[in-house]
Amino acid sequence: MRPFDYIRAEDPAAARSAAAGSNAAFLSGGTNLLDLMKLEVMAPDTVVDISRLGLDAIEDDGDGLRIGATATNSDLAADMRVRKHWPVLSRALLAGASGQLRNKATTGGNLLQRTRCPYFYDTDTPCNKRTPGEGCSAIGGETRNHAILGTSDHCIALHPSDMAVALRALDTTVEVEAADGTSKSYEMDDFYRLPGDTPHRETVLEAGDLITGVRLPAPKGDRQIYRKVRDRASYAFALVSVAAVIRMENGRIAHAALAFGGLGTKPWRDPDFDTLLTGEAPSRALFDEAADVLLGRAVSHGGDDFKIPMARRVLRAVLEEATQ
């Protein structure tokens, strides 16, 4: 591990100014950052501890909920309002990592956790995400845990978060205080960038930008499911996951919002998929047509070919359950 300065910030403004203009990283739960620093995949000059900024509240916000950036994954999953009105979020959180990790991991850190691509973690192999312009070892390499949607010729790394998949299906916005003190709010689709030819830039955040929280609007569907397929029953990242938020009216799908994990370079949602389902009566033919829309855009790489039929089966099972 390389030497670095450690600063414990007392308020958001102090955190932003400590991080601005240098190769700094915010330390929240530390469950991802510290591993990456030990492996020298990330080597910040300054680590700004944001765990004591008082950003851990989960508060009613009119018809929605505002979740502070340092609210832990455990507290969020256990919150009775979340369990009652946004159960897909609670289930996605509980499907991730382990109890010990969730006690430390935070909302902001979970959104920004880095990919689990093995080449990103192995500093002996080229990786455009770690060192821009170096090349991508995954393309033509071992690809069992890689993305099949949103990839580029420069990167096929998967976004690993379960929580972020549920947040996408729930139309969450991410709240940010920029390094200059201005407040911004992003839809999740705008917050995450596709890899393109700059895979090292994963979000719209600039140096010193601090996530202060996320806002959950009122749920648009009462039928909520998170289904995760993985190699082990716990403590494993998704091979394929689906977050579904559905509302039925008079036997038809009045609202459909589905987001996908294990498939995309960012938590994935396809507006054409949701549109195709909306207003229709549920049927096997409709679900297959929707899967064609989503997976017709997929590009697999050999080791991850299995994800296409697996995603189709998981999707069908989730939609059948959610629309019964």
Ligand X SMILES: Cc1cc2nc3c(=O)[nH]c(=O)nc-3n(C[C@H](O)[C@H](O)[C@H](O)COP(=O)(O)OP(=O)(O)OC[C@H]3O[C@@H](n4cnc5c(N)ncnc54)[C@H](O)[C@@H]3O)c2cc1C
- The 3-state DSSP class for residue 106 equals strand
Q: Binding pattern to ligand X, positions 185-224, x when CB under 6 A? A: -------------------------xx-------------
Q: Does the protein bind ligand X through residue 237 (CB under 6 A)?
A: yes
Q: Binding pattern to ligand X, positions 114-153, x when CB under 6 A? A: ----------------------------------------
The distance between the two most distant Cα atoms of the chain, rounded to a whole number of Å, is 63
Q: Does the protein bind ligand X through residue 172 (CB under 6 A)?
A: no
Shortest distance (Å) from residue 53 CB to ligand X: 8
Shortest distance (Å) from residue 73 CB to ligand X: 6
Q: Give the binding range for ligand X (CB under 6 A) out of 161-169, 264-272, 283-291, 294-302.
A: 161-169
Encoded tokens for 85? 């009105």
Give the dihedral sign, CA 117/270/89/230. negative
Out of 7, 37, 105, 216, which residue is the one contacting ligand X (CB under 6 A)?
105
Q: Quick one: 222 or 235, whose CB is closer to ligand X?
A: 235
What single letter denotes the amino acid at residue 61?
D
| Residue nearest ligand X by beta-carbon distance | 109
Out of 8, 81, 83, 104, which residue is the one contacting ligand X (CB under 6 A)?
104
Per DSSP bridges, beta strands 46-49 and 5-8 are: parallel
Q: Quick one: 240 or 290, whose CB is closer to ligand X?
A: 240
Tokens 């855009």 belong to 297
- The 3-state DSSP class for residue 292 equals helix
Q: Quick one: 160 or 282, whose CB is closer to ligand X?
A: 160
Count of alpha carbons within 13 Å of 268, Cβ hemisphere only? 25
Pairwise CA distance, residues 263 & 228, whole Å: 12
Yes or no: say if 261 and 307 are a contact pair by the CB < 8 Å rule. no
Q: Quick one: 57 or 299, whose CB is closer to ligand X?
A: 57
- Element of type H or E holding 13: helix 12-19
- Which residues 6+ apart lie within 8 Å of 62 measured at CB? none
Q: Which residues in this chain contact ligand X in the complex, by CB under 6 A?
A: 25-33, 50, 69, 96-97, 101, 104-106, 108-110, 112-113, 160-163, 210-211, 235, 237
